[in-house]
Chain A
Amino acid sequence: MSDTDSLDRRRMALYGWMLLAPALILLTTFAFLPTVTTVWQSLFSRGTARRPAEFIGAENYQYLFDDPVFWQVATNNLIYAGVTIPVSIVIALGMALWANGHLPGRGFIRAAYFTPTMLPMIAAANLWLFFYTPSIGLIDRIAGLFGIGATNWLGQPETALWAIIIVTIWKEAGFFMIFYLAALQTIPPDLREAAVIEGASRWTYTRRIVLPLLMPTTLFVMINAMINSVKLIDHLFILTKGGPNNASKLLLYWIWETAFSYFDRPTAAALTVMVLAVLGLVAVFQFRGLEKRIHYR
């Protein structure tokens, strides 16, 4: 009796592990193990053929904090995130509210907004490279019509980062709009009618009903936008390579540079660990802090 019981239990346990296995194997191979290795690696010195790597504790981190380039890249990334996240969310929301209305050619408008997201990053960056080209680029041509001279948008420290920011907003807004559109479709039309009967204006309805109901989507989009803001690398390859004078260099690009151009793996690992830690903290804060104010259906 107890034999069949324990057999049963063992069979269920096996079954459970089998269901878990795909996710467990994939996550371990591609997320958990690399993370642990990175943390481990960041604690060692850079090894050469003559001098093997040795344990140096937090020295790599200390080295980073003393490096002015680190602070510039971190500031760049903060500005980049601080501008692209709110602006692309607001534009996405606005476009979604508009494209959700009953206007002619709604499908076309939606598709049009989504196009930037469908373009490969490299293609999009090349497109913008053409827009930004001094003198012969689209922007300077148009500016020329108004008598404004040529500007090297990507080539001067004052404008390079902002040029990258604009490309990102252009690309992200359409992507986030799709999420907002999907969320808007789940709001039953009855709610609008009930609000209208109660005398709510379009704006009141949007502010008091629609926006609160979109909060789960906003949180999701915000976390995505934040991760993307740290993940950006391909635009930089095409557009500025982080220059001029590190003016448009962002974290991931710098990590890549440190690891594969300067072959300083331990420093790159230390940087990666810090990025992961910050991202993790912000995600926890966002979920914890906003959870109470969000209504999940």
Chain B
Amino acid sequence: MPNDSFIRLEGVAKRWGDSVGVEHVDLEVERGEFVVLLGPSGCGKSTTLRLIAGLESPSAGRIWIDGKDVTGLPPAQRGLSMVFQSYALFPHLDVAENIIFGLKVRRIPKAQRRERLAEALHLTGLEGLEARRPSELSGGQRQRVALARAIVAGHPLCMMDEPLSNLDAKLRHSVRQDIRSLQRSLGMTVVYVTHDQTEAMGMADRIVLLKDGRIEQVGSPAELYQAPATAFAATFVGSPPMSLMAVDALPDSLRPSGQGAPVGRVGVRPEHLVIGPADSRHLPAIVENYEFLGAETLVYLDCGGTPVIARIPGVAEFAAGETVGVGWDPEHAHLFDAVSGRRINSAGGGAGETDDRRNVTHAAGRLASM
């Protein structure tokens, strides 16, 4: 098997007694890539990260980093750094001491330590704060100290475990850009854990979507958005989420053609929904509420018990309780199997995506470029 990827996980599982952390995870990460592990809480994303970092040892499977089997190695010998959700700064040490803690432990000469510290301080914009204790810093500054500590050693690989979740929304957005540009300029490989899909979409080269300890889909943000492999991926990625509707409830004109009458659910992104008259060509819906957001209006609809959200550009006004018809271009409809939730690519007329047949079991494979 060709093995030129930087990190490779093969059949990795982690179980605690009967409870499963992750199960059968196969994953490859290229050098210099920014990979985001995304999923709801309890999906195993943090466990996967800790397995790569060596803070947990897998119950099964093997892990390679830079061509070396590190499955049994302690974290320090894996050549990586980590940013913790809590930042894990040492409260009794000042900023400088926190940053060079690892260099001191590894007995790097003093001159070199000073040089690297200066560089890390410069890169994270912490100059002048060297002598402060973590308790004297703001949340954003603490976060940067954690980043500085992660980059000071010059490890090619950095693990980030929800590093932005303790920041306020405004700061989170700017730090997102900072981390991304830092990663690019240093050529670091980053494995980043988050439950926030906008964070994942905005930062990732590639997203690994997890659910219940298994990989649901691997792909670029655009791939996940345009061709979700499962109903879960479809609803988890994108805000507001994609609406799923049962096929048998749809009028003939909106049913996916081909394959007779497939049982399943049709998903349409909010921006692809059109609101028209309540006639036989449209799906009847009741307007429950709507929100005007400036550039767009979100319309919350009730289609026979199924909640549907439509995103209409510009201003749109409705009366609550008004009956309307919902329609869409068949090209933008995604069809999912009723039982497995997997994507079905109906031949012809229906969904217009390319021959995207990747599914969970093949998620491990490096995806062809888009």
Contacts and interface: CB of A to CB of B under 8 A. Distances in A.
A295 B92 contact: yes
Interface string B78-102: 0011101010101110000000011
A205 B135 CA distance: 20
A296 to B, nearest CB: 9
B16 to A, nearest CB: 13
Nearest to B90: A209
B314 interface: no
Interface in B31-67: 53, 55
Interface stretch (A44-52, A57-65, A155-163, A192-200): A192-200
Given A195-B90, A197-B80, A295-B92, 7 more contacts: A193-B82, A195-B101, A196-B76, A199-B106, A200-B105, A212-B92, A213-B92
How big is chain A's contact interface, by range?
10 to 19
A133 B149 CA distance: 60
Interface string B126-165: 0000000101000000000000010001000000000000
Contact of B90 (A191, A196, A199, A204): A191
A107 interface: no
B76 A188 contact: no
B105 A194 contact: no
B75 interface: yes
Interface of B: 53, 55, 74-76, 80-82, 84, 86, 88, 90-92, 101-102, 105-106, 133, 135, 149, 153
Contacts of B149: 194, 198
Which of B74, B91, B102, B149 has the most A CB atoms < 10 Å from its CB?
A: B91
B152 to A, nearest CB: 10
Contacts of B55: 193, 196-197
A193 B101 contact: no
B7 to A, nearest CB: 16
A295 B133 CA distance: 10
Contacts of B86: 188, 190
Contacts of A297: 91, 135
A198 B153 CA distance: 9
B88 A196 contact: no
A197 B81 contact: yes
A193 to B, nearest CB: 5
B142 to A, nearest CB: 13
What are the 6 closest A-B residue pairs judged by CB atoms, nearest first?
Answer: A198-B102, A199-B76, A295-B92, A190-B88, A194-B88, A212-B92
Contact of A197 (B53, B92, B133): B53
B21 to A, nearest CB: 16
B102 A199 contact: yes
A190 B53 CA distance: 13
Contacts of A199: 76, 102, 105-106
A89 B90 CA distance: 24
A21 to B, nearest CB: 35
Contacts of B76: 196-200
16 contacts: A188-B88, A190-B88, A193-B82, A193-B88, A194-B82, A194-B149, A196-B74, A196-B75, A198-B76, A198-B81, A198-B101, A198-B149, A198-B153, A199-B106, A200-B76, A213-B91
B91 A197 contact: no
Interface in A197-244: 197-200, 204, 208-209, 212-213, 215
Given A196-B75, A199-B76, A204 B92 contact: no
B105 A204 contact: yes
Contacts of B74: 196
B31 to A, nearest CB: 20
Nearest to A215: B92
Contacts of B53: 197
Contacts of A295: 91-92, 133
B90 A190 contact: no
A200 B74 CA distance: 11
A207 B53 CA distance: 24
B195 to A, nearest CB: 18
A195 B84 CA distance: 12
Nearest to B84: A190
Given A198-B102, A204-B105, A193 B91 contact: no
A193 B88 CA distance: 8
A244 to B, nearest CB: 48
A284 B22 CA distance: 55
A188 B88 CA distance: 8
Nearest to B80: A197
Contacts of A188: 86, 88
Contacts of A215: 92
Given A197-B82, A295-B133, A191 B105 contact: no
A197 B160 CA distance: 13
B261 to A, nearest CB: 54
A297 B91 CA distance: 7
Contacts of B101: 195, 198, 200, 208
B322 to A, nearest CB: 53
A5 to B, nearest CB: 39
Nearest to A194: B88
A295 to B, nearest CB: 4
Contacts of A196: 55, 74-76
- Of the listed residues A188, A197, A204, A212, the one surrounded by the most CB atoms of chain B closer than 10 A to its CB is A197
Contacts of A195: 90, 101, 105
Interface string A57-100: 00000000000000000000000000000000000000000000
